[in-house]
Homo-oligomer: A and B are copies of this chain.
Amino acid sequence: MSDGRVINFGAGPSALPTDVLEEANKGLLNFQGTGIGIAEISHRSKEFTAFLNEAESHIRTLLEVPSTHKILFTQGGGSGQFSAVVLNLLARHRLLHPQLKDEERVMDYVVTGSWSKKAMQEAGRLGGGRVNIAADARRYSNDGKAFNSVPPHDDYAFSADPALIYYCENETVDGVQFSDDLSSPASFPFEKLTQGALLPLVADYSSSFLSRPIPRLADHAVVFAGAQKNLGPAGLTILIVRQDCIVDVDAAAKLGATPVPITLSYKTLADHSSLYNTPSVLPIYIAGLVLRKMSDGGGLQVYAQSNRQKFEKIVAALKNGEEKDVFKAKVKDGSVSWMNIVFDVPGEGRQQKFLDGADKRGMKGLAGHRSVGGVRVSLYNAITQQDTDKLVGYMNEFVADTV
């Protein structure tokens, strides 16, 4: 049944392992011998509950999630969480500091690309606090408009006692990612945060979740991720929330905080073990199979090492093309994402020629995001070394043919 499949380098929804999809086919008609398909079974059945618990346990083990943090499953994607983190963490801040005025509740946003910018705009829309741009990557680009590097540590200006501190670990559109090497100048500046405090640090990990370990996970208040990159189908959002950030939003509303829609309240999700209402059972199922495969396959370090290799292979091919003036990297060295490598193919019609050639060779999804153009190579977990080698071969061939 896997005949005719192409290599999908798309940025999301994105490639899933073929063996997982074949396994899912069985579950779609008959989940674990129940005689009922996974899309049809009650989310409160003992079989599904056990499956959900197993999925949670895989995430806890793979990412070494400490017992201070809950793992929650919800719907609505990263964009849903742009609102939810603001509402929940402003409620928390209200309970901690009931006397402050709205303009004294500061939300620090680190803006390194399109997604963190969108998250910041949502915080501004919702009000109830004041947005502070703690750092802005555009300051370091030539035109002041492009997002093409992680800002240097000196640039960050965090507020005292903010309601939240927000960053997007990997910018899917712009291809900018924080380094996981904390000695790198392109890492997140954890040393500039108040040490030892329960900081409201929020990270959007949508497009790098489970691709490698999360540095300083324990110091985060909320890590969230849409599933549709490394993990599973769209329609599932994973939250890792420190327990002090699971607050009584209704008590906060009585003190003047904005009321939180019931399904966006972290307390609702936590109190009902992610089953307050019907979750997206089928996306959870496929994500659970991917998680099981990851655990069986040796854990996160195996994937991290493989992802590093894939990244280095594509970057080498990109450098080769740059030396011969065929490709032009869009992101500065050190800030280049492992997951989404973006570059231009300058010259009349050449980019289309590159994409068409890839398409002809069975490699799809390589066009850049519609807002920025160019080429984007997404190297999520389901992309194999062999897939990567095929693209590298084509990139080198294209360079040789062009010069």
Interfacial residues, chain A to chain B (CB-CB below 8 A): 1-6, 8, 10-16, 18, 21-22, 24-26, 28-30, 33-37, 39-44, 75-80, 82-84, 87, 122, 125-128, 226, 228, 232-236, 250, 253, 258-259, 261-264, 276-283, 286, 362, 364-365, 370
Residues of B within 8 A of A8 (CB): 35-36, 40-41
With contacts A1-B25, A125-B259 taken as known, whether A39 is within 8 angstroms of B80 at the C-beta atoms is no
With contacts A37-B16, A39-B232 taken as known, whether A4 is within 8 angstroms of B30 at the C-beta atoms is yes
Residues of B within 8 A of A39 (CB): 13, 16, 21, 232-234, 283, 286
Contact between chains at B226 and A278 (CB < 8 Å): yes
Residues of B within 8 A of A122 (CB): 261-262
Residues of B within 8 A of A362 (CB): 35
CA distance A4 to B79 in the complex (A): 40
Contact between chains at A281 and B4 (CB < 8 Å): no
Closest to A122 in B: B262
Partner of A22, one of B29, B232, B235, B281: B29
With contacts A6-B35, A13-B278, A16-B40 taken as known, whether A127 is within 8 angstroms of B253 at the C-beta atoms is yes
What's the least CB distance linking A316 to chain B, in Å? 27
Q: Which of A5, A43, A233, A258: most chain B CB closer than 10 A?
A: A233
Contact between chains at A13 and B33 (CB < 8 Å): no
What's the least CB distance linking A8 to chain B, in Å? 5
Closest to A37 in B: B21
What's the least CB distance linking A21 to chain B, in Å? 5
Contact between chains at B75 and A36 (CB < 8 Å): no
Contact between chains at B21 and A263 (CB < 8 Å): no
Residues of B within 8 A of A84 (CB): 261
Contact between chains at B127 and A259 (CB < 8 Å): yes
CA distance A28 to B18 in the complex (A): 10
With contacts A13-B42, A22-B29, A125-B250 taken as known, whether A261 is within 8 angstroms of B261 at the C-beta atoms is yes
Contact between chains at B283 and A282 (CB < 8 Å): yes
Q: Which of A39, A42, A87, A278: most chain B CB closer than 10 A?
A: A39
Closest to A35 in B: B6
Residues of B within 8 A of A262 (CB): 79, 82-83, 122, 125
26 contacts between A and B (CB under 8 A): A3-B30, A4-B33, A5-B36, A8-B35, A8-B40, A10-B36, A13-B39, A13-B40, A13-B41, A16-B37, A39-B233, A39-B286, A75-B75, A78-B277, A83-B263, A84-B261, A125-B259, A126-B259, A126-B261, A128-B259, A228-B278, A234-B282, A235-B281, A282-B282, A282-B283, A283-B283
